[in-house]
Amino acid sequence: MRLSRFYHIQKTLLQYGLDELIPASWQPWYARAMRKSAFWLRNRYATEPVGKRLRLALQSLGPVWIKFGQMLSTRRDLLPPEIADELARLQDKVDPFPGDQAQQLIEQALELTDISELFSSFSVTPLASASIAQVHAAVLRQLDGNDADVVIKVIRPDIRKQILADLDLMDGLAAIAARYLPDGKRLRPREVVSEYRKTILDELDLQREAANAIQLRRNFAGSDSLYIPYVYSDFSRPNVMVMERIYGIPVSDIAALNAQHTDMELLAKRGVEVFFTQVFRDSFFHADMHPGNIFVSREHPDNPKYIGIDCGIVGTLNSEDKRYLAENFVAFFNRDYRKVAQLHLDSGWVPVDTNVEEFESAIRTVCEPIFQKPLAEISFGHVLLNLFSTARRFNMQVQPQLVLLQKTLLYVEGLGRQLYPQLDLWKTAKPFLESWVKQQVGLPALWRQVKDNAPFWAEKLPQMPTLLHRYLEQGPKQQAMMLQQLQLLQLQQHKANRQIIAAALAAGTLISGTIAFSIGPLWLAGALLGGAIFFGAKALLS
């Protein structure tokens, strides 16, 4: 099967003419000859741009490759803009698998004899179908006697086997590219595939998605900005998830939003606020916020609220990354490129031996022309993209969490400007970030850290006298042991020095004795050789 699948992939890539992506100078003569001899696999889309051909080829190869293309579209540090833009258009809507098969999978996962034991109704026709799972409407019977409208998400049958097989093929192709392409090491294809493997395998575990949704819902409990549907965790399994059904308006349906007189400016600004709140307040953000996963509540159009679904991919940042990232953003707002460069060094994102002046100059060269436009016309996401691309030239190792952040920010900004074209993301984000940075330094931050660590110190405080007494009691003993070890090391060092000197003298006298034996008096040669034996013995016995 693997061989036939490999042939099918090669056939598809050649029929879409994707061998053109490899420069002719990189292809040996025998590879070009083999390509020409495969006349039945000629390029059938020669008039189409290469980016479009790549998108169509990935779509024809199926869900695993579609999602791989979607992930690649976020790696603009590796791809030309025209190809990345085409890949960003990939949609993973695919034909559904039979509803009765989905029902069987649900019954098996929930250990039901019949689905009616738990659900008073179940729609065999799916509400939506994607590359990895599909969704069915149902009504859940509850212990209190009330029914609840829910949706059941179920993983496609045998999809894991197909995904693992295709991932193995991807890894094999990436290994070939890394080894034989001149630019293979810089592009790091095996690392890209490895990153993708983790992402897509995480999406196959619906219990992980359920946990992510529960966390996000808790983070935004009572919020006017974002609502996450309730997850019925008792009925969630690795391949099945039951959650509250929502009836919002798709965020991409601008006509429907306008028809109910939604406050589009407020909605766009709230999208920005939700993103930065997730990143900097919670360190836990929904990293797949494309329009298909975002809805708008039909209630209170004058005070609109987002509804987020599909929490399979989330990103996290540690406290250091958050602080450096926020300070980077603020420095960009203020065009302080020197600080941006220094922050990259301090954070460890670029090597410590990087020349700060050269790095600052490179950042200015890329970013200053952007700032010639009015702030409202500048893409925040693309500025971040240019920052990472420039840093790559200085051997910045791409951080997976920053790639997710970049992708999500591009989604959020594109969505916000679709809703409200006049959205000034800079103006919306800057006060939030400046306020957050101020909260992380100074006395308020110090006091907050003291409060956060208070339970730890309260637990350790009663032990302090015992620990202090033990230290004072054992301190002299440890110092004496350390002194003995130092003295032993000194003796060993002196012995080693004597051996080295004796060995050098033995070698020198041996060479001199050999020369004297051939050209000089025998008594001198004998004396020198005797000296060599003496020093050699001294070196061995010291």
Query: How is the beta sheet containing 306-308 ordered, strand by strand?
Result: 226-227, 306-308, 294-296, 249-250
Whether the CB-CB separation of 420 and 256 falls below 8 Å is answered with no
From 147, 205, 253, 288, the catalytic residue: 288
Helix axes 319-333, 400-419, angle to 10 degrees: 50
How far is CA 170 from each of CA 5, 79, 173, rounded to the nearest angstrom? 11, 18, 5
Angle, helices 425-440/442-460, rounded to nearest 10 degrees: 50
**153 assigned ligand-binding residue:** yes
Q: Is residue 129 annotated as involved in ligand binding?
A: yes
The b-or-e profile of 501-522 (16+ CB within 10 A means b, else e) is: ebbebbeebbebbeebeeeeee
Nearest residue to 104 via CA among 96, 95, 118, 114: 114
State yes or no: 132 annotated in a binding site.
Answer: yes
Cβ–Cβ < 8 Å for 90, 68: no
CB 219 within 8 A of CB 282: yes
131 is annotated as contributing to ligand binding: yes
Beta-strand pair 284-286/314-316: antiparallel
Residue 134 annotated as part of some ligand binding site: yes
Contact 343, 324 (CB under 8 A): yes
Q: Residue 280 has what DSSP assignment?
A: I
- Span between the terminal Cα atoms of the chain, in Å: 69
3-state secondary structure 436-458: HHHHHCHHHHHHHHHHHHHHHHH
Give all strands (DSSP E) within 142-205, no chain letters: 147-155
Residue 259 annotated in ligand binding: no
**Cα 112 to chain centroid, rounded:** 38
233 a known binding residue? no
147 catalytic? Reply is no
Q: Give the integer Cα–Cα distance in Å for 372 and 356.
A: 24
Which residues, including other chains, have CB under 8 Å from residue 205's CB and lie 6 or more apart?
Answer: 238
Contact 77, 187 (CB under 8 A): no
Annotation: binding site for ATP: 127-135, 153
Annotation: binding site: 127-135, 153
Active site residues: 288
